[in-house]
Structure formats: C-alpha cells, structure tokens
Amino acid sequence: DIQMTQSPSSLSASVGDRVIITCRASQSISTYLNWYQQTAGKAPKLLIYAASTLQSGVPSRFSGSGSGTDFTLTISSLQPEDFATYFCQQGSSVPFTFGQGSKLEIK
Amino acid sequence: QLQLQESGPGLVKPSETLSLTCTVSGGSISNYNYYWDWIRQAPGKGQEWIGNINKAGNTYYNPSLKSRVTMSVDTSKNQLSLELSSVTAADTAIYYCATHPPRNNWFDPWGQGTLVTVSS
C-alpha cells in the first residue's frame, strides 16, 4: 500500500495568514493526489483533485501543487470558515490511502 | 446533485456482524456508471478505504479487510450495503459512503457518516 504522510498534524494560525500543509507519498503517484476539508459532524468536502485542480465552488484562496511524492495545499488568506481538518488522499492505485489529517486551529 | 446518507446500528457487539446502509438521493444508482465506496475513520486516526462496488455488483475490497467485508447494491431501493463480520473494538469508527466516476479516483460527494461502536 502507498503510505501518505501529512505535516503538520496540527497548526495554529490567525485570520488572514497564509498556511501551507504538506503531504508526502511513499512512492510516486504522479498527480493522483486529492485534498479534502472536514469540519466536525459534517461530510468531508473535496477541495482539490489531481493535485492542483480546484473543485467547483471552492474559493480561489485554496490551491494545490506538487507531483511525484511531494504535494502542498496552500490557503492564501485564512478565513474564519477555514478552521477545520484537512487531509490528502492518493488515487494512484488501490487500495486508496489517506493522510492522517492536519487540524487547523485559531491562534 | 447526489446526496448520500448512511444508517445502521450505532452499537455492535464483539464477534458480531456490522451492517450499514447508504441511501442515495438526487439520482438513481442505475443511471450512474460510478463506483460507490465505503470509507471509515477510527477515533484519532486517518481515513481507511474499505472498498467499493458498482451498479453491476462488481466489488473491490481493501486486502486488509477483504476476508470480512461484503458489499452489495440494491438499485430498486437506491441503496448500498456494507457488512463487516467478526468485529472487534478496532472496528469502532465513523463509517462513510462516498462515490466517484471511473478513472476519477477522488471522492465526491460523501455522506455525513455514522458512528459505530463495537462494545459488549
């Protein structure tokens, strides 16, 4: 199985800050990397697919980059509704696997 | 727009079989050539992909769970089902259903999830 490692596992930031979350795959997955946002009690929401394509309706302050084994999710200017948990998922091969999540909290 | 909703017992005894249903609304399973997935998240851990099924009933299970998992689809009820046998406390998790088209291996949408606790 492909192992997905996210960092940091948690971080504190303020409204307006720029935040970067990283995801590393244990082997090359090309650009088969997806990012999700999850808030407590709600369904996970797809933010970015294929490493850098913004899902329809997702604000442009979210962006993704990377290929091969190293990927980043960037939030350019944090908004109050962005404080949530973010996780990555590889879609390169089954079984699909996920990062352990990065919890973004208000400083 | 598709919506998914999981349902089932919130408490299952060790060694018994966990049974969950995912009801699809906003569209008919029969009209979509999609994969319908089950994913779970144990407390304090990341998500784990359990497997998927298509409308024809073709399945792919995570090898780590394959010996205990059975998925089925009922197109007449527009529902998916998950059974996990011989459960232990390690199977305590929030269980989600989700979907994706072939070759687009990202999950959208997801259901809200249902918590299943394994305890006597």
How far apart CA A44 and CA A87 sit, in angstroms, is: 9
Could B60 and A94 be called an inter-chain contact, meaning their C-beta atoms sit closer than 8 Å? yes
The three-class DSSP label of residue B66 is helix
**Which of B35, B54, B105, B115 best tests the A interface by mutation, with the highest count of A CBs <10 A?**
B105
pLDDT in tens, A89-100: 999 999 999 999
Q: Which residues contact B44 (CB under 8 A, 6 or more apart)?
A: none
Per-10-residue mean pLDDT of chain B, 120 residues long, equals 96 98 96 95 95 95 97 96 98 97 92 97
Give the pLDDT score at A71: 98
Distance from CA of B4 to the nearest CA of A (A): 10
Residue pair B113/B96 in contact by the 8 Å Cβ criterion = yes
Q: H helices within chain B, ranges in order?
A: none
Distance from CA of B15 to the nearest CA of A (A): 25
Give the pLDDT score at B59: 96
Q: Which residues contact B17 (CB under 8 A, 6 or more apart)?
A: B83, B84, B85, B86, B87
